[in-house]
Structure 1
Amino acid sequence: MHKTANRPRTSALPPAVNTRLAHGVAAASGTRGGDESGFHLMHDGLSAFVARAVLVEEAEVSLDLQYYIYSDDICGRLLTAKLLQAADRGVRVRLLVDDLGTRLVNPWVSALANHPNMQIRVFNPVEGRSGLRRSLEQALDFGRINHRMHNKLLVADGLVMITGGRNIADGYFSNAEVEFLDVDTMAIGGVLADAAACFDDYWNHAVSVPVTELLLADDEDYSLEKLRGHLQAHLAAEARSEFHRALEGADLAQELAEAQVHFDWGAAQLLADPPQKATDPQSLAAEDFPAHQLKKALEQCRERVQIANAYLIPRQRGVALFEGLRRRAVQVQILTNGLGTTDEAVVHGAYARYRKPLLRSGVQLWELRPIADQRRRLHWFKGESRASLHAKIMVLDRDWAFIGSLNLDSRSVLRNTEIGLLMHCPAINRQLHDLFDEWTAPDCAWQLQLNAERKLRWHGRGEQGESVTVHRDPDSTLWQRLLCRVLGRLPVESQI
């Protein structure tokens, strides 16, 4: 598609030394071995945003960012301004985004890419940036375009990384009409080398195309000086926003420097699809995919499995996997979105077919309620929003845990590229277990059960604390239920 012969290959720079962040990470690591990693969970949206912004501010050598969605909204522009400031002080910045999730039609991107310390690439792009040409190429080259980079990764100075479910957009950080419940982990230690190598594999892949090969000629009218002015005006306009207030009031930079951030330590395995999954999946073995590795981890469980995932389409193999666990008396509990919280009607329609088989096998199943986590959000933001589950976490027995970008559907398993951390750490396991219990409380989620006639019933708690039973998909309209029923009959399960 694009010429790669003259495209420069770059690699992760060595980790920073003798910097404030380096001293803090060294102090936090103590005398631990090089193979161990430290983990710090972030399930509050504002804390997750602050962590990213602070790492960008603290970086002195390099910043590598890889995201499916990087939006031009409040948090996106704030982070962009800080990336530009980092580049201005000499930090090498590499930003890799997916073409479908991040439409790079903003002309300011060209100015950003012209900075000598900043490089921006687009994964698996469509050559037409807008209009008919783009739509035509998507139709004619659907086999290629249908594979997307769903990864979420930030690596600062080769010392600290953040991965999990969050994209760069207001909704993932608690400021939108729909608030995504999600989880990230900040990590230090041995896993950083694997994260750096993984980013390099994607960055140097043939379908990671510099934006300078994609943007339109008239974008050259936008200079770095104009961009700095544009971003400064934005920062001034948003000076009273919740994001600004949270960042100004944060002590995270000082806490990182003084090793006051608590990290739980253990072994970690970075599970990441090779970038070839998006271009030549037939050349890869099943063992190369995170979904296969997670399946093996699930099969080894002896006591409990707790899963919170935005999209659940287990197919027959997944149902069989859970049935096998139940036959061995392993407790299986799953939380996913309900019809009132999902953002994908066709996915819910496909998932709905598996509710009864899962319940019959003994799986405990919950669906998130739109009112979930509302009280915590109102501490910062005015007005109410509808909750939607976006997290992809697993609690495995009492010592293993997974956090990543992998949905439990065919698109994540077979088509999109994904990333996540599989951690052998009882403390992280306990924290995610507690979070799962919080998210599945009766005022946050509906528990599904089959009555004596094998009909679905949803059980929860009312506004006065009373027990409530609903006989059809709660928090939904007749039109939504009819639409999902129709969409659920379409033969598209392998594509979603």
Structure 2
Amino acid sequence: MKCHWREGNRIQLLENGENYYPAVFEAIGQAKQKVILETFIWFEDEVGRALHHVLLNAARRGISIEVLLDGYGSADLSETFINALTDAGVVFRYYDPRPRLFGMRTNLFRRMHRKIVVIDNSVAFVGGINYSAEHVTSYGPEAKQDYAVRVEGPIVEDILQFELANLPQQTPARRWWQRRHHRAEDNRRPGEAQALFVWRDNDSHRDDIERHYLKMLTQAKREVIIANAYFFPGYRLLHAMRNAARRGVSVKLVVQGEPDMPIVKVGAELLYNYLLKSGVQVYEYRRRPLHGKVALMDDHWATVGSSNLDPLSLSLNLEANLIIHDRDFNQTLRDNLHGIIARDCQRVDESMAPKRTWWNLAKGVVVFHFLRHFPAMVGWLPAHTPNLAQMNPPAPPEIAAQDRIPTENSQVKP
């Protein structure tokens, strides 16, 4: 399957859970036929229970609902929580659930990291926001800063067809000799309210999202802003950022200054000297953890989605982004990012970058060789075909009782 640029869409930027959750819940409440929902994390907290409530109500009024959760990110939902949905007819699947080893989860890599909702063929949501209270500012200093989009128009059909094609037993996996790389889709008739749905998988679309970033950086003439939570990209993307800055493009990078995982900042800091000496402006977002995955170029190009710019997202995880060609949307996102840069970011200078010692130089050489070769290396990592495990509805009480209590004519197996 390959998607194309679609014209005539209505695209709304949604910032954080305060804007995202009411929009999603309202759309589910208005569904007429079908809801498909994918997410990496669904927690059994106030937000998770609110989603549970709207899905349950929709299922009880006859709406067909399919849910796909990641087996690592959403592994702790209770049986009671899940059974209420499956009992109402919700098709509930886990992507690659695997047993724990000594109490620890073993399914660390090749995760289903997409965050997509499709309602009928009329409205869709794409972004980086999970279903947990961490995405609401009332959560406190650890609340995440994040983005998604609500879209209506022809692009919704592309997203719906992508979802339908990826349901179990719909599309057989390609063998390695059948795989082919896709070029970044050209927008041959640029205009307003255009959108392109792109994704990353471990089959034929392994670097589609990265290719669109690379093409954007090559075509930029005035300004690029990249705000990305987990920034440790491949050498090609770093090289493209440096080249854009050197030819006079204002390249701004917003990364975490108050990270949810300390290793995130350590990794990004190793790249500071390389970026700063090339003229890239680096900003650390200090208000709270940054979880966004957005970017814009000049006055028309933008992207919002689930893909970080790190080895997991670029080489292992299942991801999805929307590429947007729309001046109004671009301006909305630009105003938002310029606002957080002015209010909540500290610009990184040479004094904040790692000192130029022999040790740091050696680390830098290792890092850059790793980044240069990681995409090829990861293809040799042990891999398996992930399972989609469907959760069955709970057995009716009378059947469950018959299974538990042997009758006079039954034989109890040792």
Provide the TM-score with structure 1 as the length reference.
Answer: 0.64
Q: 3-state DSSP class of the match of 1:60?
A: coil
2:132 matched residue in structure 1: 169
Distance 2:226 2:32 in 1: 38
Q: Does 1:350 align with 2:267?
A: yes
Deviation at 1:121, TM superposition (A): 0.6
Deviation at 1:489, TM superposition (A): 11
CA contact (8 A) 2:33 2:63 kept: yes
2:213 matched residue in structure 1: 294
Distance 1:297 1:488 in 2: 26
2:385 matched residue in structure 1: none
Selected match of 2:156 from 189, 192, 210: 192
Provide the TM-score with structure 2 as the length reference.
Answer: 0.76
Distance 2:163 2:290 in 1: 27
TM-superposition CA deviations, 1:292-332 (whole Å, max 9, x none): 22222222112211111111113433321111112321110
Deviation at 1:266, TM superposition (A): 1.1
Q: Does 1:449 align with 2:412?
A: no
Percent identical among aligned pairs is 24
Q: 3-state DSSP class of the match of 2:160?
A: helix
1:235 matched residue in structure 2: none
Give structure 1 regions of 4+ aligned residues with deviation exceeding 6 angstroms: 487-493
Q: Aligned in 2, Cα 1:34/1:358: closer, same or farther, shift over 3 Å? A: closer
Selected match of 1:305 from 213, 219, 224: 224
CA contact (8 A) 2:165 2:171 kept: no
Counterpart code for 1:158: N
What pairs with 1:59-74 in structure 2 (closer than 5 Å)? 59-74=31-46
TM-superposition CA deviations, 1:104-125 (whole Å, max 9, x none): 4511144235335310011122
Bigger shift: 64-73 or 289-298? 289-298
What pairs with 1:323-342 in structure 2 (closer than 5 Å)? 323-338=242-257, 341-342=258-259
CA contact (8 A) 1:70 1:102 kept: yes
Bigger shift: 322-331 or 83-92? 322-331
1:247 matched residue in structure 2: none
CA contact (8 A) 2:109 2:312 kept: no
1:317 matched residue in structure 2: 236
Distance 1:46 1:305 in 2: 27
Q: Aligned in 2, Cα 1:273/1:329: closer, same or farther, shift over 3 Å? A: same
Distance 2:292 2:259 in 1: 12
Q: 3-state DSSP class of the match of 2:330?
A: helix
Q: Does 1:149 align with 2:45?
A: no
Distance 1:205 1:332 in 2: 44
Counterpart code for 1:175: S
Selected match of 1:201 from 147, 158, 165: 165
Number of matched residues? 342
Q: Aligned in 2, Cα 1:92/1:104: closer, same or farther, shift over 3 Å? A: farther
Distance 1:94 1:147 in 2: 21
CA contact (8 A) 1:311 1:407 kept: yes
Distance 1:97 1:328 in 2: 43
What pairs with 1:380-391 in structure 2 (closer than 5 Å)? 387-391=288-292
Deviation at 1:265, TM superposition (A): 5.5
Q: Does 1:272 align with 2:199?
A: yes
Distance 1:289 1:61 in 2: 31
What pairs with 1:215-226 in structure 2 (closer than 5 Å)? none
Q: 3-state DSSP class of the match of 1:180?
A: coil
Distance 1:431 1:162 in 2: 17
CA contact (8 A) 1:198 1:272 kept: no
Q: Does 1:430 align with 2:331?
A: yes
Distance 1:422 1:52 in 2: 20
Distance 2:304 2:336 in 1: 13
Distance 2:336 2:88 in 1: 43
Unaligned residue ranges in structure 1 (runs of 5+): 1-32, 209-263, 373-386, 458-470, 473-486
TM-superposition CA deviations, 1:451-472 (whole Å, max 9, x none): xxxx337xxxxxxxxxxxxx99
Distance 1:159 1:186 in 2: 11
Distance 1:346 1:310 in 2: 12
Distance 2:7 2:84 in 1: 37
Q: Aligned in 2, Cα 1:120/1:285: closer, same or farther, shift over 3 Å? A: closer
Selected match of 1:183 from 126, 147, 156: 147
CA contact (8 A) 1:366 1:440 kept: yes
CA contact (8 A) 2:283 2:346 kept: yes
What pairs with 1:393-432 in structure 2 (closer than 5 Å)? 393-432=294-333
1:121 matched residue in structure 2: 93
Unaligned residue ranges in structure 2 (runs of 5+): 173-190, 356-362, 379-414
CA contact (8 A) 1:125 1:207 kept: no
Instruction: Give the aligned CA root-mean-square deviation in angstroms.
Output: 2.9
CA contact (8 A) 1:270 1:421 kept: yes
